[in-house]
Structure 1
Amino acid sequence: MSETNKTDAVEDAAGKAAIPQQASAPEGGSAEREVLLRVTGLTKHFPIKKGLLQRQVGAVKAVDGIDFEVRKGETLGVVGESGCGKSTMGRVITRLQDPTSGTIEFEGRDITRLSTGKMRPMRRDVQMIFQDPYGSLNPRHTIGSIVSAPFRLQGVEPEGGVKKEVQRLLELVGLNPEHYNRYPHEFSGGQRQRIGIARALALKPKLVVADEPVSALDVSIQAQVVNLMDDLQEELGLTYVIIAHDLSVVRHVSDRIAVMYLGKIVELADRNSLYEAPMHPYTKALMSAVPVPDPKRRGTKSERILLRGDVPSPIAPPSGCRFHTRCWKATEICKTTEPQLLELKPGQRVACHHPENFADQAPQDTVLLTAAKEASELVGEAVLEESAETSAAVAAEVAAAEPAEAAEEASVEAEVSEAELETAEEPESEEPEATAEAPETDSQESTDK
């Protein structure tokens, strides 16, 4: 039973539960931390209905089978193009929307099919920061009413009273506590987002899902909000799932990053491995789109990768690898066989038959598809040369390792063969003596007769 649930069970004299205490930040590496959230085979399909009888004729496969886990105290960043299913995934793991299939485990408890009443106590531990700071706040309510809403809904009486706690939260996120009675229209976009963060932190949750928390803000305000979230994580021991499309922001705040494309996770790795040596072609294309502000360093950066066409429709996604219609390395196996999300390097999982910076998973399939030939026309020559060089380097390393292994196997085989020859020579030397003695005995018997 978690600390929050224990405190929930204790009621004060007024009949209201005391506000739960926030757990301290975990120590140690991410590999040693306890898993807080585990998602397995998660899918979310929105049905398409037509006709008078509203029969289902299809489905929008917004999230189509993803697996990941989030450990206590870490930040998982989720990136991808618009329409790839990032926001839907965030709403499903917080149970604001019901999943079509799969399992969602929070602190070892399956919350996939919990009813609204049973999910209410879990809302204290799982909160969400919404994307639009202009649409997520009710314009008819004051700031004090908005931030104190979680206390009323959960029946929690904070120590010192609701107003004092709300003012403390406003001060915590960098706002003036005297703005308690103001309305949302009196604040800027950055201030509204801070109000949304204060509301999400009211009940001291363990997991916060932030859906594009800074995309609607000015660049200078983005840095303030990102730094605020970092400080709050260190102070309160929060666990974040940050959904964004700004790769610079994600790299700054995330411990691990998941790259999504058309409802699938195509790569999942820690931020250093992902940015220094991306393994999926789509990830490499995303990295090439990050602008370099220093003019002196622009010449050292590889050429920009331009992908042909748009993201396919999630109603009828392509067969096999969903990126093969835009990939410059796609072959026949990419069209027919869906790649699995495998851990090719320690801490780096990728779903690709022809990964970058690693040995080819399907070296026998070398014939490019027509879509790949067209995409290669838009991919810079420097990128293709770099891919060829890295593939050749990896192949050389594998080839260099193979002779050593072959030499060891040959030496073992030679020892085995020598031992077999020694054992085989002994019976061969005895057999001729027996055959030579046999005629003598026959001649002796004939003379006796």
Structure 2
Amino acid sequence: MTIPAQGESAGDPEILLKVTGLQKHFPIKKGLLQRQVGAVHAVDGIDFEVRAGETLGVVGESGCGKSTMGRLITRLLEPTGGTVEFEGKDITHLGMGGMRPLRRDVQMIFQDPYSSLNPRHTIGTIVGAPFKLQGVTPEGGLKKEVQRLLSVVGLNPEHYNRYPHEFSGGQRQRIGIARALALNPKLVVADEPVSALDVSIQAQVVNLLDDLQQELGLTYVIIAHDLSVVRHVSDRIAVMYLGKIVELADRDSLYKAPMHPYTKALMSAVPIPDPRRKDAKSERILLRGDVPSPISPPSGCRFHTRCWKATEICRTTEPPLLELKPGQRVACHHPENFEDQAPQDTVLLSVAREAAELVADEVLAESAETSAAVAAEVADAGGAEAVSASTGTASTGTVSGGSAAADGADAGQESTEK
């Protein structure tokens, strides 16, 4: 049975998945009449695209909406708002009958390999289920095709008649991968595919996913909280915080120069396996408290309650996701490694002053130095016109080093908007 490769078109790959303004609010009901008294804003308006043949990594703390987003784009959950387009077709509100043909093209690898496999079914029944549900008869027979899939993911084809309890966690995850690949999907959403596995097995499964992508031309959306795993497999990375995407960039740009303070804090938490640095002073950024409740998220920028750069505009105005550098989009009024987007607002909030106490002085000094250097470089290059030409975004009131009158006008405009 030949497996067609995806995304072989010349030039830029086509957009396979496009998400616009996606929302998912889970209602909270109380009382005898079950009246709605609130909602959990699990996913609260996100936009991104996935091109054929690429891997998009999605990272963030627990509870930020990553898994919910994965279930929304595979239509295992019904969105509250926004649109999901697959190959140019709107699949946001398709019913079960309408989604059935698309299930061949969109598959999911679930997080827990122990609960995602039915313990009463054999491995042959589990991996062969997609063929029966879709009414597909593979060449050479069902058993032969299932055994071929098991060998593709590194399992013994003779284990066809065994049950899930006879396998280890890594082997169960491979079974889940074989089931997801059964119908030659175009898009595979992997929700924490290695988080429940031992570290030595994680590398095997990650390498397997990478090899299968090269061999079959798959497109991945990989949800994870392990930044080292995401860096190894992803082409682009989306950073989520409290139901929002705060930064979206290609892998090298994100790891070399993260622009959102939250991304910088995540990157600082990645351990560096270097024995020579065991006595070196850690420059890890410690964030205050936990992620706020998604039932009543903070106003303005949702990260301002834990950010060491938060000012009044962060508390009152939600920053849009703008492309400040080619291929790097960020939602921040005071980004790292770039000129300040709100230079007229310099008074830190009290929570920011408290958060700054948890950040190493070297990190704060480096942040101020790089941001000032970029601002000076942009100003020397010609001010606002140069910024607009190079980034393609509006730059009014964002170039530091301008005249005092311009800063005053910007501050007046901000107070009017409030």
Shared fold (TM-score, shorter chain, > 0.5): yes
Counterpart of 1:276 in structure 2 is 256
Larger radius of gyration: 1
Decide whether aligned partners of structure 1 residues 366 and 142 sit closer, same or farther in structure 2, where only a CA change above 3 A counts.
Answer: same
> In 2 relative to 1, CA 405–362 (structure 1 residues): closer, same or farther, beyond 3 Å?
closer
SS in structure 2 of the partner of residue 327 of structure 1: coil
Once the two structures are superposed, residues 388-442 of structure 1 have per-residue CA deviations (whole angstroms, 9 ceiling, x without a partner) of 1112212321343349999xxxxxxxxxxxxxxxxxxxxxxxxxxxxxxxxxxxx
Residues 6 and 53, structure 2, Cα contact 8 Å, conserved in 1: no
Q: Distance in 2 between matches of 1:403 and 1:165?
A: 62
Counterpart position of 1:105? 85
Stretch of structure 1 that moved more, 344-353 or 293-302: 293-302
Query: Matched residue of 1:39: which SS?
Result: strand
Aligned to 1:366: 346
**What does residue 160 of structure 1 align with?**
140
How far apart are 1:27 and its partner, in Å? 6.2
How much does 1:327 deviate? 0.1
Specify the SS of the correspondent of 1:148: helix
- Give the aligned residue type for 2:370: T
Residue of structure 2 in register with 1:250 after alignment: 230
Cα distance between partner residues in 2 of 1:66 and 1:340 = 11
Matched residue type, 2:4: Q
Question: Match of 1:141, SS?
Answer: coil
Change over 3 Å in CA distance of 1:28–1:250 after alignment to 2: farther
**Counterpart position of 1:430:** none
TM-score, normalising length from structure 2? Answer: 0.90
Q: Percent identity?
A: 84
Does structure 1 conserve the Cα–Cα contact (< 8 Å) formed by 2:6 and 2:186?
A: no
Distance 1:157 1:274 in 2: 45
2:5 is equivalent to residue 23 of structure 1: yes
The 2-side partners of 1:317 and 1:404 are apart by: 34
Could you tell me which runs of 5 or more consecutive residues in structure 1 were left unpaired when the two chains were aligned: 1-18, 407-449
Gap regions ≥5 residues in structure 2: 387-418
Q: TM-score, normalised by structure 1?
A: 0.84
Deviations 1:167-200 (A, max 9, x none): 0000000000000000000000000000000000
- How far apart in 1 are the matches of 2:338 and 2:365? 15
| Cα offsets for 1:120-173 (capped at 9, x unmatched) | 000000000000000000000000000000011111100000000000000000
1:157 aligned counterpart, secondary structure: coil
Secondary structure class of the residue paired with 2:213: helix
The answer on whether the counterparts of 2:286 and 2:358 sit within 8 Å (CA) in structure 1 is yes
Query: Which residue of structure 2 lines up, in the alignment, with residue 176 of structure 1?
Result: 156
Given that residues 3 and 216 in structure 2 are in contact (C-alpha distance below 8 angstroms), is that contact kept between their aligned partners in structure 1? Answer: no
Measured after TM superposition, the shift of residue 26 of structure 1 is 2.6
Structure 2 CA distance for aligned equivalents of residues 92 and 405 of structure 1: 40
Q: How many angstroms apart in 2 are the aligned matches of 1:73 and 1:137? A: 28
Which residue number in structure 1 is paired with residue 42 of structure 2? 62
2:298 is the alignment partner of 1:318: yes
Question: Residues 161 and 350 from structure 1, CA distance in 2 versus in 1: closer, same or farther, beyond 3 angstroms?
Answer: same
Q: 1:335 to 1:217 in 2, by over 3 A?
A: same
Distance 1:292 1:310, change over 3 A: same
Partner of 1:226: 206
8 Å Cα contact 1:34-1:71 kept in structure 2: yes
Indicate conservation of the 8 Å contact 1:320/1:338, yes or no.
yes
Tell me how many residue pairs correspond in the alignment: 386
Partner of residue 75, structure 1 = 55
User: 1:88-99 to 2 correspondence within 5 Å?
Assistant: 88-99=68-79
Counterpart CA distance in 2 for 1:100 and 1:25 is 31
Higher helix content, 1 or 2: 1
1:25 is displaced (CA, Å) by 5.0
Cα distance change of structure 1 residues 284 and 300 upon mapping to structure 2, 3 Å threshold: farther
Give the conservation status (yes or no) of the 8 Å contact 1:130–1:213.
yes
Which of these residues, 394, 409, 414, is aligned with residue 374 of structure 2? 394
Aligned to 1:238: 218
Determine whether 1:50 maps to 2:30.
yes
